[in-house]
Amino acid sequence: MELEPSHYPAQRAAGVARACISYRRGECTDIRDIPGTGHKYHLEFTLKDTVQEVSFNCTAEVLYHLGSQHSAPEVHFTVEGELGKNPDDADNKFYSRIKSLKEPLVAQNIPDSFGIVPPEMEPIRHLAFSACDYIIWQNSTENTWYNLAQIQDVRQVKRNDDYLEFDYTVLLHDFVSQEIIPWQMQVLWHPQHGVKVTQNSRQPK
């Protein structure tokens, strides 16, 4: 069945592909051998890196598994060009700044009610987008369409090693049900090693 690009199911699948590609890059190709019970979407779209202002053409296949036990959609993709990047100046500055804080960083409501993000919170927000991509990828079905609506709360957890750690409570907006879903996630980050979600759980409304 061919879907028009305007159709939300295609949009949602593309969202899943984007989330997966953005979070895990190489690891999205991890396949388990599963007999063909599910819905597969073939997609062609453009990924835009809004920080670096670069666009990439992508093709992807997203397979939603049917069945009572939810498992993350499988995503197979190809990208024209190099997605990976070395840590840039901004990443390093952010890393140094947080590492040198006397008190652990604590913040709420990013963006605030009026859409304002203080400049020093932008990297915290980018990190949340990346981490949410994992959660979105893992929890998407054909009947969900998640976006990060707001960071409700973020607290830094001081570590002895090189990683930065943050405990986020984010609000995800599911466009299909229109629900706002609080989600807790523990996020590790390092300029060279990237983002990792070590723990996450859906919270009660």
Partner 1 sequence: MNKVYFFFLNRDQVLRIRASSDDQIDKLQLLETLEHLQLDFWLHPSNPALPVDIRVPFGSLQAVRAFLGYHDIEYSILIEDVQVILNEEKQEMISNQRRERSNSNFNYGAYHSLDAIYKAIDDLAAEYHGLVSKLQIGESYEKRPLYVLKFSTGGPDRPAIWLDAGIHAREWVTQATALWTAQKIASEYGNDPSITSLLDTMDIFLLVVTNPDGYVYSHAKNRMWRKTRSKAAGSLCVGVDPNRNWDAGFGGPGSSDQRCSDSYHGPHANSEVEVKSIVDFIKKHGNIKAFLTIHSYSQLLMYPYGYKCTEPADYRELDTVGKAAANALTSLHGTSFKVGTICSTIYQASGGSIDWSYDFGIKYSFAFELRDTGRYGFLLPADQIIPTAEETWLGLKSIMEHVRDHPY
Q: Is 5 exposed, middle or buried (0-12, 13-18, 19+ CB in 10 A)?
A: exposed
Closest distance to partner 1 from the beta carbon of 97 (Å): 24
Instruction: Output 8 or 71, the one with its CB closest to partner 1.
Output: 8
Residues 128-167 touching partner 1, rule: CB under 8 A, are 147-150
Closest distance to partner 1 from the beta carbon of 149 (Å): 5
Q: Binding to partner 1 by residue 194, rule CB under 8 A? A: no
Which of 30, 49, 88, 112 touches partner 1 (CB under 8 A)? Answer: 112
Token pair listed for 203: 């919270």
Rg, Å, the chain Cα set: 18
Q: How far is CA 47 from CA 59, 83, 189, in A?
A: 10, 10, 23
Which of 111, 156, 165, 194 touches partner 1 (CB under 8 A)? Answer: 111
Rounded to 5 degrees, φ, ψ at 137 are: -60, -45
CA end-to-end span of the chain: 37
Q: Write out the residues near partner 1 by the rule CB under 8 A.
A: 4, 6-8, 50, 111-116, 147-150, 171, 173, 175-180, 205
